[in-house]
Structure 1
């Protein structure tokens, strides 16, 4: 902690720049500047002109499926602008119906956090039966009974109807991975121990939901890899690298909200802090590791661009657009910069 007390990070609304005011022992304010890491991608994010309609339409969809249960949740969902998120992370020429599906999916993923994922704090004995039933629904073995399950079935049905069974299988496989990761997350949250970075990285790849979102890249561009190419180790490794990059950027920008969780939701900067770094140092180090991961992504991507099919090359460009658009969304959405306006750095 700085001399005299905590630092109050006040957002300047300019691409990650925050002013930090550190009280000294005489209570005079010495102003310093803290920069959140800035990232640069090969593909520039592009705003979707239909974002407002996507945002409002998906809110209505979520209400129809009873994912939004009160005014507070609705205001939070509206502030997150997940329709804008879908537009930024996908090709500008994506058909409108596909964009609506993507926007609805992002609302579903975030609202499941409130309706299912937050129950992981109660311990594995509470969450495991819910997850087991949900996984059976995703696999087509059980009828959906809860609001999140019924909404998932609607998303999967529309995806298959518009883009084929291949897209549906990839989405379902990623859905099972996401759901099953919530059980070890519950064990981790119930534990008093700090996870290692390796443990966290493995868990984060499942609970991020990114593999489910990545299943929409090919439908958005209208070209699909064969199952054999999709399942190649190097293609899946590239997708996992993108998963890490997207997740770690989110870890940085969502830090004020994660620190408000009880029990604590460990993420990359917080684990580094627990290992001895100050929080500003941990944020900077997370940014450096994210940038290195992006450099490694392109080392592999450039080789695959030469060796693999046109569909794989298009998928790689789609991954880069996804990473770029996700970063841009974290900057422009009120969900994050409002949280940083009043964030207190305690170490």
Structure 2
């Protein structure tokens, strides 16, 4: 974003407000790091989009490679010539400072998967491939970064959760439903922009292409799936909170672990209200007020990343 566009649009995009509603209970330092990382994520998403629209595969390949490298060695990329890479490195250094190395390695593993999912989306969009519904839903878990946002519940709660907790069906189902809701509601709100831009990566578009639904039917089906996430989560949340209660085994460590899991599950619930609020308050989705419904007015359409 050029400086004048930052001044005009940045606050209205509500990116930092979004994270403040997700991660209740985080220290100021943790919340600031997550909010800055989230803002970076949106900018990265827009760069990826512009590289697709302007057919810049070399620029995307270079960025993809640099992000993988910065993830594994962030301190050596803090002064990278591409501000997007330098900003990512700065965010990663800060996020890596809160919990043990085992959490950092997991975060890195999950984000490497996100980068590769963005690469698959790049090729699908440049080649005009609309994934099937099931293919899309599987890929969406990575392009939306389900496990990254779930990982960030832990520094918010102030401790790393052991595998036996994170991988427990009760915890994992509640986490997955909160992320599926967010991803699919995002698809619902992004559909007008993405149809205007002839995009291929949206649940509604996959339903139209592969299930033969009309636009109205596809919108209703996405809405149905979104509403089912809410009702399913209310059941899963109870199971997850019971699981958290069971972790309090009379020891100090058990009590602390139980409290941390309760905090994580409560913030899973916060995704629902905050995602809903964000999509109706952020200027990112107000396509009816844009001159071009496919292109946000704050996006710099110059060849960023191309040398």
TM-score of the alignment, normalized to the shorter chain, above 0.5 = yes
* SS in structure 2 of the partner of residue 270 of structure 1: helix
Is 1:119 matched up with 2:55? no
Give the TM-score taking structure 2 as reference length: 0.77
Is 1:240 matched up with 2:176? yes
* SS in structure 2 of the partner of residue 266 of structure 1: coil
Is 1:171 matched up with 2:107? yes
Other-structure match for 1:105:
37
Task: Name the Cα RMSD after superposition.
Answer: 3.0
1:232 Cα deviation from its structure 2 partner: 4.3
Aligned pair partner of 1:211 in 130, 144, 147 = 147
Other-structure match for 1:322:
271
Contact 1:95/1:220 (<8 A) preserved: yes
Which one has the bigger helix percentage? 2
Is 1:268 matched up with 2:216? no
CA shift in 2, pair 1:211/1:280, >3 Å: same
Contact 2:204/2:218 (<8 A) preserved: yes
Aligned pair partner of 1:132 in 65, 70, 74 = 65
Is 1:80 matched up with 2:13? yes
1:109 Cα deviation from its structure 2 partner: 0.4
1:74 Cα deviation from its structure 2 partner: 5.5
* SS in structure 1 of the partner of residue 199 of structure 2: coil
**Any stretches of 5+ residues in structure 1 without a counterpart?**
1-67
Other-structure match for 1:339:
287
Aligned pair partner of 1:160 in 75, 85, 96 = 96
CA shift in 2, pair 1:73/1:181, >3 Å: farther
**Any stretches of 5+ residues in structure 2 without a counterpart?**
248-257, 294-307
Alpha-carbon separation, structure 2, partners of 1:160 and 1:126: 27
1:223 Cα deviation from its structure 2 partner: 4.1
* SS in structure 2 of the partner of residue 254 of structure 1: helix
Alpha-carbon separation, structure 2, partners of 1:240 and 1:343: 36
CA shift digits 1:214-244 (9 cap, x unpaired)? 3222222324312442244654444333221
Alpha-carbon separation, structure 1, partners of 2:90 and 2:281: 29
Which one has the bigger strand percentage? 1
CA shift in 2, pair 1:237/1:126, >3 Å: farther
